[in-house]
Structure 1
Amino acid sequence: MADPYSILGVSKGADEKAIKSAYRKLAKELHPDKNKDNPKASERFSEITQAYDLLSDPKKRGQFDRGEIDENGQPRFAGGNPFGGGGYSQGGPGGGNFDFGSGGIDLGDIFDGLFGGGGGRPGAGPRPQQAPPPKGANIAYEHLVSFTDAATLAPQRITLGDGKTVEFKLPAGLVAGQQIRIPGRGQPGPGGNGDAMVTLKLGKHPDLARDGDHIRIDLPISIKEAVDGGKVKVPTVDGAVMLTVPPRTNSGAVLRIKGRGFTTKSGGRGDQLVTLMIHLPSDPVELARLSGVLSDSNVRENLGV
C-alpha cells in the first residue's frame, strides 16, 4: 500500500476532521455497491479504509510518522530476518539431539541385530520412540478487514512475507484481535513449514457502528417526515434500503432492519438499528410553517420578517 496520506489526498499536517472528511468523500465514490462492475474501485476502497484506520488512530499515526511502523501497521525492521528467530539446530556435540536418519549410525538397529531384533539390548526395555523433528517457526501478520467485509464475511486476500498472495475466509462471529491460521506458510524447519498466524483488525465506517451482532446508525429526518411519515433512504453494509417512517414519529425512535447486522457465530445475521433524529430547518419561517400553528402571513408578522 502506498503512503496513507497520499491515498486519502491529505497533507501530513492534516487534522482529524480533514482526514475524516477526505475518507467520507472517497468512501462514497468508491463503495463496492456503487462500483459492482469495477474491481479496481473495490481495491481502492480497501486501500482508503486501511489508510483511514491507521491515520484515525493517534497512536498508530504517531508510530507511522516516526517510522516505527509501515503503512500496513507492521513494525519496520532495520535488516536481517523480519520475522525473528535464527533457524533451527541440527544437533551434534553439546546440542542434545543427533540425527541418525541421514547417514549416522543407529545404535538401536545394531543392538537389535545382535540380539535377534526382538528385545533390543540385554536387560533393556522397549526402545523409546524418537520425537518427531520440529516444524519451522510461525510468522505473525496483521490484516485490516473493512467494516463492510467484517459484517458480511467477504473473502480476504493477504500478501505474505515471501511475496505470495493467499485468500482466506473470515470466521463467523468475527471480533477484533481474532487470529486466523494459514497452515504451512511460516518458516521452514526439519519437520516442515510453520504456519502464518494472521491477527485481524476491524476498520471503521463513517456512518455505521457495531453493537455486538447488531449495527447502529443515527439517521436525520425532516420534521415533515416525522409528522407525516414517509420513506427514507438508509445505508447498510449490503447497500442502501428504503425504510418506512410511521406518521407522528418522535426523535429518538428506533426502527429495526432485520438481517443487516454482523454475521453471528451460528451463521445468522444481526439487525441494523436505526435511531431517527429530527432535523429542524434553520429558517424560522419554514420552521413555523411546518409546525402548522400559524399561517404564512401571521408567521412573518409575528417574527417581524
Structure 2
Amino acid sequence: MAYKDYYDVLGVSRSASDADVKSAYRKLAKTYHPDKNAGDEKAAERFKEIGEAYAVLSDPEKRKLYDQYGHAGQVPPGAYPGGAGGFQGGDFGGFDPGQFSDFFQQMFGGRGGFAGAQGGFRNPSGQQVNIEDLLGGLGGAGQSRRFVQNVEGELQVTLEEAYSGSDEVINVDGKRLALRVPAGTRDGARLRLAGQGPGGGDVLLTIRVLEDARFELDGDHLTTTVDVPAPVAALGGDVKVRTLGGQIGHLSVPPGSSGGRRMRLRGQGWPRKDGSKGDLYVRLNLTVPGDLSEREKELYRQLRELRPG
C-alpha cells in the first residue's frame, strides 16, 4: 500500500508552523467536504486523506514520530516480534512501549478512523501484521499476553452536527461503536469510550468541528448573512432567517437599514452547558434584482433623480 506524504497532502512544508497546518487543513476540508461534493468519490477520498494528515501533523507528539519514522506502517526495526532486537517474552528490547502505542493510533473510518484499520500494519520486512497478533501474541512460546492499549483518533463533524448533537458510528479494530456527540460540542473537545479499545483499553476521540460557509462562531455567538431587497431595506419589513438548527425565524428590518448592518436574534446562538444559548447576529446584505421590469427601472430612475449622488 502506497502512502502519501502528509505534508504534501496538506500542501505545506515540513517546517510549517501549527497555525499554517491548521489553516491549510481548514481550507482543504471546506473545499472537499462531502456536503459540497455529494456522490464524488474522488473528493470523498481526498477529504479522508486531508483528515488523516491533519490528525498527525496537528499533534506535536504524533508529528515528531511521523517526522522520525514516517507512516505508522514504517515502524523502526525491532518494533515487531521476531525482528532484530524485537520483543522477547516480556523484554521490549529498549523500545519504549509508549512510543509503540502511537503506531496503533489510526483515523476512524468515514469522518474519522484509524489508519491501517483496513488491512492492519506491515513489519520492516513488508509482511502483513494483524493488530490482534500484535496485541495478543507478544508473549513467548506457549503463552499469550494481551496489552491493554488506549487508542486515539479524531472525529470530524459539521458545525450543524456539533450544534444540535449527532449520533455517530465508528470502526475500531473491526468493531463498530456507537457514540453520541453532545449538542454544543466545541472543536477540540475530547470523548472517551471506556474499555472499547484493543485489549480493553479506552478509545479517546478529539472532536474536530468543520467550518460552515453560512455561519461564523465566535464564543457563544453565531453570525450569518441574509439577503435583503433594497426596497425592504429602505422602507422596512420582515425577512426570513434560517438558524443553524434549521428553524426559520423572522427578522424585522427597520426602515433605512444599510448594507452590512448587524441585527441580533436573542437566544439563537451556541448552546451553553446551563441550557441557555448565545445570540445569533444577522448581517444585512442589500440586493437589487438583475432582471428589473421596465416599470421597476422607471421607478429607480425617479428615485435617482429625487436623491442624486
Task: State the TM-score, normalizing by the size of structure 1.
Answer: 0.54
Alpha-carbon distance in 2 for matches of 1:86, 1:59: 23
Counterparts in 2 of 1:66-145, with a 5 A limit? 72=111, 74=113, 76-77=115-116, 79=121, 80-81=129-130, 86=135, 136-145=148-157
Q: Is the 8 A contact 1:176 1:201 kept in 2?
A: yes
1:143 CA drift (Å):
1.4
Alpha-carbon distance in 2 for matches of 1:82, 1:238: 41
1:265 CA drift (Å):
3.3
Alpha-carbon distance in 1 for matches of 2:132, 2:279: 41
Alpha-carbon distance in 1 for matches of 2:274, 2:188: 20
Q: Is the 8 A contact 2:112 2:153 kept in 1?
A: no
Alpha-carbon distance in 2 for matches of 1:153, 1:186: 23
1:141 CA drift (Å):
2.7
Alpha-carbon distance in 2 for matches of 1:141, 1:83: 19
Local SS of the residue matching 1:216: strand
Number of the residue aligned with 1:216: 223
Alpha-carbon distance in 2 for matches of 1:203, 1:288: 46
Structure 1's unaligned 5+ residue stretches are 1-15, 27-43, 92-133, 299-305
**Equivalent AA in structure 2 for residue 178 of structure 1:** A
Computed over aligned residues only, the root mean square deviation of the Cα atoms, in angstroms, reads 4.8
Q: Alpha carbons of 1:291 and 1:227: their partners in 2 closer, same or farther (altered >3 Å)?
A: farther
Alpha-carbon distance in 2 for matches of 1:233, 1:139: 46
Number of the residue aligned with 1:109: none
Match of 1:266 among 274, 291, 295: 274
Alpha-carbon distance in 2 for matches of 1:89, 1:59: 28
Q: Alpha carbons of 1:55 and 1:156: their partners in 2 closer, same or farther (altered >3 Å)?
A: closer
What is the identity percentage for the equivalent residue pairs of Structure 1 and Structure 2?
22
Alpha-carbon distance in 1 for matches of 2:115, 2:202: 21
Query: For each residue in 1:206-254, what CA deviation from the matched residue of structure 2 results, as whole angstroms up to 9, or x when unmatched?
Result: 3112122111112221111101111112121222222221111121111
1:200 aligns with 2:207: yes
Alpha-carbon distance in 2 for matches of 1:52, 1:279: 38
Alpha-carbon distance in 2 for matches of 1:183, 1:196: 7
Alpha-carbon distance in 2 for matches of 1:280, 1:159: 50
Aligned length: 214
Number of the residue aligned with 2:303: 293
Alpha-carbon distance in 1 for matches of 2:302, 2:160: 42
Alpha-carbon distance in 2 for matches of 1:22, 1:287: 42
Query: For each residue in 1:271-300, what CA deviation from the matched residue of structure 2 results, as whole angstroms up to 9, or x when unmatched?
Result: 1110102124457975673475357xx9xx
Local SS of the residue matching 1:164: strand
Q: Is the 8 A contact 1:280 1:287 kept in 2?
A: no
**Equivalent AA in structure 1 for residue 170 of structure 2:** I
1:184 aligns with 2:195: yes
Local SS of the residue matching 1:256: strand
Higher relative contact order (CA 8 A, sep 6+): 1
Structure 2's unaligned 5+ residue stretches are 1-27, 57-70, 73-106, 122-128, 141-145
Number of the residue aligned with 2:259: 251
Q: Alpha carbons of 1:248 and 1:292: their partners in 2 closer, same or farther (altered >3 Å)?
A: farther
1:227 aligns with 2:234: yes
Query: For each residue in 1:147-194, what CA deviation from the matched residue of structure 2 results, as whole angstroms up to 9, or x when unmatched?
Result: 11211233443333333231224275x222221001110121xxxx11
**Structure (1 or 2) with the larger CA radius of gyration:** 1
Task: State the TM-score, normalizing by the size of structure 2.
Answer: 0.53
